[in-house]
Amino acid sequence: MGITSHDVARLAGVSQPTVSRALRDDPRVSQATREKVKRAAQALNYVPSEAGRTLSTRATRRVGVIVTDLTNPFYPHVIAPLHDELSSLGYRMMLITERSDEAVAEEKLLDQSMDGVVLATATTDSRLPAQLERRGMPYVFLNRDTGRAGDFASVVDNEGGGRLVARELVALGHRRIAGVFGAANTTTGREREMGFRLALAEAGVGLPEGRVVRGAFEYDTGYRALPALLEADEAPTAVFCGNDVVAIGVLNAALAAGVKVPDDLTVIGFDDLPMASWEVFRLTTVRHDLRELSRQAARLLVRRIAKDVDPAGERLVLPTEFVPRATHARAH
Amino acid sequence: MGITSHDVARLAGVSQPTVSRALRDDPRVSQATREKVKRAAQALNYVPSEAGRTLSTRATRRVGVIVTDLTNPFYPHVIAPLHDELSSLGYRMMLITERSDEAVAEEKLLDQSMDGVVLATATTDSRLPAQLERRGMPYVFLNRDTGRAGDFASVVDNEGGGRLVARELVALGHRRIAGVFGAANTTTGREREMGFRLALAEAGVGLPEGRVVRGAFEYDTGYRALPALLEADEAPTAVFCGNDVVAIGVLNAALAAGVKVPDDLTVIGFDDLPMASWEVFRLTTVRHDLRELSRQAARLLVRRIAKDVDPAGERLVLPTEFVPRATHARAH
DNA sequence: TCGGTTTGTGAATACGTATGTATTCCATGA
DNA sequence: TCATGGAATACATACGTATTCACAAACCGA
């Protein structure tokens, strides 16, 4: 059934190693032989077996990408450019969406079926990085990392982004401010909250725990958080959300509750997904270059696979920018 | 670096084949030996090499999934359940997003690096299926197919869904009806349009080409179509959209143009993505079971790989259901 | 013309697992 | 006591490619 390099060799009247070399444009084979071999390969529709090559070279040209929930609108915008960049670097992408770290690590990541791994949904308490480290499997963090030194990571200046938002809200006169932050075991959640808090504190504005919600970076987190925040004695005049998806949950909840945005409530997101600029939202948010974030992660991983990397770790940080649209206003 | 079954064999004091059999729970190895081997494997943190296994068994336990644009909100809802079902069937997923069919086929699909392929974005003029067929690579269509006999496909009753919408619109008194359909080279586009047209014709309602737009199943298609439709002499009172993503484009365009939905315009989608029920949209649409659609495709592919399938082709069709929400109203 | 170099190719082998076949060991029964 | 059969394990090999090493031929300068 399958056509092998031996079949090509027979047809071309050469040995199998010569076929291997000719098709890989090894300069040691003569022009004439090379062409003869290529014609034979063409005639037989020969495609080298990836398994044979992998076994021989010990490289799979395959990279795993780990994500928890693909249906979250955030991840496709990471995965698409990641795929394209990996592809142009000669790697293929294995998508792994998994709930539990442990199961993933044992079977799927350590069987030498990929050359490296991109962790797009790492939590600070995950044991996965340590397992990968122990087995010598190259990996990089994308968007989130562990926050520890020595990481290889492509991330955003989350703290700076949080600061930007705090300053804007203060400048708009907001004093009763709420936060719907990401989960506490994610660096994206923690750092955005941290930057936001620090800049608020500098301006002398408090952020009591009663006006803080933390949860997964999901639509439902925002959708359920708003009613809770509105029940407080003094409802907030502004909400900073952990990311755009959460903010969109808040916007929908506001519509359901009859709360006018931005007249009654200012809502700010983070990420600037394409969706944020849809007419129905016109979400004021914090932009960073999601494409470049992903590409950078791909290139970093490939460099790490090639061991062309600073052994002390590399942390590539992209800047953020405030994007005013239509969900913010002066405090009333 | 890598630990092999030979290392385990040495430690356990048995031969390599015995290790292979013991770990795979082959009944021919004794209980005592099995345990001895498993302890040794455990002690060494042995994980069988996937490449070696593949070469030996000629099966990769890997499946490719081909999609054009992952950032389209539709696809994650297909890919996530597909991944999970494949995973529970013991297969891993390689994600391939590609523009041109040709490049994909040559290198990536035919190198025996996967056991089968799911085509999620096939067009009726694609040459890819024929290439896969010729090389004996098992494949199934998901959502879209070629429309030809002999396909293996998991699809939706698109024509029936189109009919449902037409009947509802007619019953609501609409006569000036528009359609923003999917691309003409997709069966999803064609069949939905066909069903819609047929049921309209049965009711004596026309659908002139001036009120028809066709394009990719994307946000922009809907967003750009609406202004064009509104410029016509008599603006339509209702628009049936090829899918929810297109419908959401139309809804946003309506908001931008100051067109009130549903008072001035009825908008109907197709798919019932989670997004369709968001407060900002409350989109009236046609539901089908997207999870089951994907799972069914996974199971069909695995059966085809196992050659446990009707050689004449199998076409699994899921039913549709009209979901009334807030974007439809009686014609004025 | 000859030793030495370069060039091109083939033979042998490694990679890690699974499997078909051979072998060993032991128990059983006549 | 020895043949027989079954259980458990070892041996040999296949899978397809890439690479190391050896070898032959061609080429070069002295």
The pLDDT of residue A148: 87
Closest Cβ opposite residue B2 in set A51, A65, A112? A112
pLDDT of residue A134: 86
CB B193 within 8 A of CB B241: no
For B199-251, the pLDDT digits (tens) are 999 999 999 999 999 999 999 999 999 999 998 878 999 999 999 999 999 99
Would you say residue A278 has pLDDT above 80? Answer: yes
- Residue A17, preceding bond cis, omega within 30 degrees? no
Q: How confident is residue A1, by pLDDT bands cut at 50, 70 and 90? A: low
As a whole-number percent, the residues of chain A with pLDDT over 90 amount to 85
Cα–chain center distance at A169: 28
Contacting residues of A for B58, CB less than 8 Å apart = 2
Nucleotide nearest to B49 (CA to C1'): C16
Which pLDDT does position A135 carry in this prediction? 85
pLDDT at B18 over 80: yes
Q: Which residue has the tokens 């359940």?
A: B81
| pLDDT value of position B2 | 82
Confidence of residue A228 (pLDDT cuts 50, 70, 90): very high
Query: CB A256 to CB B279 under 8 A?
Result: yes
Query: Is the Cβ–Cβ distance between B115 and B59 less than 8 Å?
Result: yes
pLDDT recorded at residue A266: 98
pTM over 0.85: yes
User: CB distance from B71 to chain A under 8 Å?
Assistant: yes
- Closest nucleotide over all strands to A24 (CA to C1'): D18
| B245-285 pLDDT tens trace | 999 999 999 999 999 999 999 999 999 999 999 999 999 99
Q: Which of A2, A136, A252 is opposite residue B278, by nearest beta carbon?
A: A252
Inter-chain CB proximity A112 and B55 less than 8 Å: no
pLDDT value for A217: 97
Q: What is the band of B104 on the pLDDT scale with cuts at 50, 70, 90?
A: low
At B105, the pLDDT band (50, 70, 90 cuts) reads: low
Q: How far apart are CA A249 and CA A222, in angstroms?
A: 4
- The number of C-alpha atoms within 13 Å of A260 and in the hemisphere containing its C-beta is 5
What would the mean pLDDT of B136-151 be, rounded to a whole number? 92
CA→C1' distance for B71 and C30 (Å): 79
Could you tell me the end-to-end alpha-carbon distance of chain A, in angstroms, rounded to an integer?
A: 75
Task: Please give the average per-residue pLDDT across A21-39, as a whole number.
Answer: 93
Please tell me which residue, A254 or B68, carries the higher pLDDT value.
Answer: A254
Top residue of B70, B83, B325 to mutate, by most chain A CBs within 10 Å, is: B70
Confidence of residue B40 (pLDDT cuts 50, 70, 90): very high
pLDDT(A231) > 60: yes
- Least reliable range by pLDDT among A56-65, A128-137, A186-195, A196-205: A128-137
Q: What is the pLDDT of residue B233?
A: 78
- Under the banding of pLDDT at 50, 70 and 90, the label for residue A233 is confident
What is chain B's percent helix, strand, coil content, to nearest 5?
45, 15, 40
Is B77's Cβ below 8 Å from some Cβ in A? yes
pLDDT in the model for residue B108: 78
* Chain A residues near residue B248 by CB distance under 8 angstroms: 278
pLDDT in tens, A89-124: 999 999 998 765 556 666 678 888 999 999 999 888
Ordered domains of chain B (ranges, CATH): 5-57 (1.10.260.40), 62-156+290-320 (3.40.50.2300), 158-287 (3.40.50.2300)
Distance CA B302, CA A305 (A): 33
Q: Which residues of A touch B1 (CB under 8 A)?
A: 136
Q: What is the pLDDT of residue B196?
A: 98
How much is the average pLDDT of A210-214? 95
Q: Which of A26-35, A97-106, B73-82 has the lowest mean pLDDT?
A: A97-106
- Beta-carbon count within 10 A of A111 CB: 15
Give yes or no for A94 touching B (CB within 8 A). Answer: yes
pLDDT over threshold 70, residue A11: yes
In angstroms, rounded to a whole number, what is the distance separating the alpha carbons of residues A138 and A301? Answer: 7
Average pLDDT of chain B is 93
Percent of chain B with pLDDT strictly greater than 70: 97
Q: pLDDT tens across A135-187, in order? A: 889 999 999 998 888 999 999 999 999 999 999 999 999 999 999 999 999 99
| The pLDDT value given to residue A204 | 96
Six-digit token string for A186:
């994610």
Secondary structure of chain A as H, E, C letters: CCCCHHHHHHHHCCCHHHHHHHHCCCCCCCHHHHHHHHHHHHHHCCCCCHHHHHHHHCCCCEEEEEECCCCCCCCHHHHHHHHHHHHHCCCEEEEEECCCHHHHHHHHHCCCCCCEEEECCCCCCCCHHHHHHHCCCCEEEEECCCCCCCCEEEEECHHHHHHHHHHHHHHCCCCCEEEEECCCCCHHHHHHHHHHHHHHHHCCCCCCHHHEEECCCCHHHHHHHHHHHHCCCCCCCEEEECCHHHHHHHHHHHHHHCCCCCCCCEEECCECCHHHHCCCCCCEEEECCHHHHHHHHHHHHHHHHCCCCCCCCEEEEECCEEECCCCCCCCC
What does the CA dihedral B3, B9, B13, B19 come to, rounded to 10 degrees? 140
Nucleotides of D under 7 A from a protein CB: 7-12, 14-20
Contact A279, A301 (CB under 8 A): no
Residue A71 contacts B, CB cutoff 8 Å: yes
Tens digit of pLDDT for each residue in A53-88?
999 999 999 999 999 888 899 999 999 999 999 999
- Give the model's pLDDT for residue A125: 87
Residue range B79-97: mean pLDDT, rounded: 94
Cis peptide before A262 (omega within 30 of 0): yes
Interface test with A, best of B5, B47, B277 (most A CBs within 10 A): B47
Please give the average per-residue pLDDT across A268-272, as a whole number.
Answer: 98
For residue B74, what is the nearest residue in chain A, using CA coordinates? A71
- pLDDT at residue number B275: 96
CB contact under 8 A, A76 and B80: no
CA distance B181 to B200: 15
Structure confidence by residue, pLDDT tens digits, A283-327: 999 999 999 999 999 999 999 999 999 999 999 999 999 999 999
What pLDDT score was predicted for residue B106? 63
pLDDT category of residue B149 using cuts at 50, 70 and 90? confident
